Amino acid sequence: MKHLYYLIALLFPGYLFSQNPIISHCFTADPTARVFEGKVYMYPSHDIVSPVERLNDWFCMEDYHVYSSENLVDWTDHGVILSQENVRWVEPESYSMWAPDCVFKNGKYYFYFPSQPKGRKGFSVGVAVAEHPAGPFFPDPEPIEGISGIDPCVLNDTDGKSYIYWSSKGLYVAQLKDNMRELSTAPVQIKGLPDGFKEGPFAFERDGKYYLTFPWVRKNTETLAYAMSDNPTGPFEFKGIIMDESPTECWTNHHSIVEYKGQWYLFYHHNDYSPHFDKNRSARIDSLFFNADGTIRKVHPTLRGVGITDARMKIQIDRYSETSRRGVKIQPVDSDNMFEGWKSCFSSKGAWLKYNNVDFGDKSPEEIKLRVRSVNGGKIGVLSAGRKLAEVEIPADGTWHILTAPVATPVTGISNLEVSLIGGKDAETDWLEFD
Ligand code: FUB
């Protein structure tokens, strides 16, 4: 299995493995997830470090990539699908390719994106069309007439009609013509939503109910909130919060909600790889659940994210599913290059991290490998479902080592891991893997 993964990684350089955040080689904001051809395709916007001074403190986005995954863990980056230079109506140096969406209709994929039109201020929304979910996408020469705003989202209703939602001063909706490129009704502002700044509408239908979900500033920064209706255009009834404000004050959140293989997921973003500048964001996923009456349960952001991790790949236990209350901290491996990821720093004996859903396959591994270091000497213990798998003694020299140990108890199938400091004074763990 491991060899297969390595072969795939060699053949397809865009093949990536991740927990939260899910993409670890560049920023990915405003993630819109859609299920096409049995896979999840994610269409995020692409934050970059600004090459122009005027945007040093603002959003800066010049193009879009598309990503796909079959298991929500291994993502393929299909590369750039559209950039500000190849859309005729877009101001080429505006770096304003903000939050997009993509839907399938009448045998084609329609990619909707906002940007700044040439020679004008503000935002318009354009459409690019493809035969396949990863493109190539061909942009229309003019933006959609009648829309002035950002964050388009399209809902294909069960009766064959399509609606486009967007954000301007408030949230708006209009019906699309069958050609998906023109409005067939005048835009109306959506009523019934709470006061306060709102953007990023994401609409979907489930069991005959229409959900309008949106970032909403209730106090200081954006929560994710929602309203429900019996009709795609409303009237909507406000229902509450899906996700609270970021605990670390990332001002924006932007999301999408998708059902895949019988489970609902919330895609959202956070500034994980840019803790000191919240305009460089990264996509995350957590599971989302409905109550019996159709209301949405609050989602608490996790580092673990979703999906099953292959035991033969590097397991980043700093993306834990549970942790002891004291004695362990998560820190960047290299704070000058956040894309290097994080490490788990154990500082007191007995401190632990749990990491759920690791797939050991049919055959138990024989060896565990860990990238670790310790200043004063430490001993790491690894358990699976309460049974000892290995113990590893780390020399007290402060340098990174890749240490190996035999796996003491056979383990197969899907199991949870627990890693703890069982001896010595301190230890840092970057990753571990089984072989
Ligand atoms: O990414 C730029 C803007 O930030 C989006 O359009 C908004 O929804 C917010 O996430």
Burial of 413 (0-12, 13-18, 19+ CB in 10 A): exposed
Q: How big, in percent rounded to 5, are the helix, strand and coil portions of the chain?
A: 5, 50, 50
Interval 226-263: pLDDT, tens: 999 999 999 999 999 999 999 999 999 999 999 999 99
Task: Give yes or no for a contact between 257 and 266, defined as CB atoms under 8 angstroms apart.
Answer: yes
Is residue 30 part of the annotated active site? The answer reads yes
Radius of gyration for the chain, computed over Cα atoms and rounded to the nearest angstrom: 23
Interval 384-428: pLDDT, tens: 999 999 999 999 999 999 999 999 999 999 999 999 999 999 999
Average pLDDT along the chain, 435 residues, taken 10 residues at a time: 41 63 97 98 98 97 98 97 98 97 98 97 97 98 98 98 97 98 98 97 98 98 98 97 97 98 98 98 98 98 97 97 97 96 98 97 98 98 96 98 98 97 98 97
Ligand 1 nearest atom to the CA of residue 200, by list position? 8
Task: Give the residue whose CA is nearest to atom 3 of ligand 1.
Answer: 98
The pLDDT, as a whole number, for residue 16 is 63
**Beta strands 309-310 and 352-359, pairing class:** parallel
The pLDDT, as a whole number, for residue 55 is 98
Torsion of CA 256, 60, 20, 373, to 10 degrees: 180
Ligand 1 nearest atom to the CA of residue 215, by list position? 8
May I ask the CATH class of domain 2-288?
Answer: mainly beta
The residue among 205, 212, 214 whose CA lies nearest residue 227 is 212
Task: Give the residue whose CA is nearest to atom 8 of ligand 1.
Answer: 200
Q: How many residues does the chain have?
A: 435
CA 215 to centroid of ligand 1, rounded, Å: 10
How confident is the prediction for the chain on average, in pLDDT?
95
The pLDDT, as a whole number, for residue 18 is 72
Residue 80 pairs in a beta bridge with 65
The pLDDT, as a whole number, for residue 6 is 38
Burial of 83 (0-12, 13-18, 19+ CB in 10 A): middle
The pLDDT, as a whole number, for residue 15 is 54
For the chain, give every domain's residue range.
Answer: 2-288, 309-434
Question: pTM for this one?
Answer: 0.95
Q: Which residues form the pocket of ligand 1, taking CB atoms under 6 Å from any ligand atom? A: 29-30, 45, 59, 98-99, 150-151, 199-200, 252, 254
CATH for 309-434 is: 2.60.120.260
Interval 84-125: pLDDT, tens: 999 999 999 999 999 999 999 999 999 999 999 999 999 999
Is residue 93 part of the annotated active site? The answer reads no
Reported as type and span, the H/E element at residue 369 is strand 367-373
CB atoms within 10 A of CB 108: 12
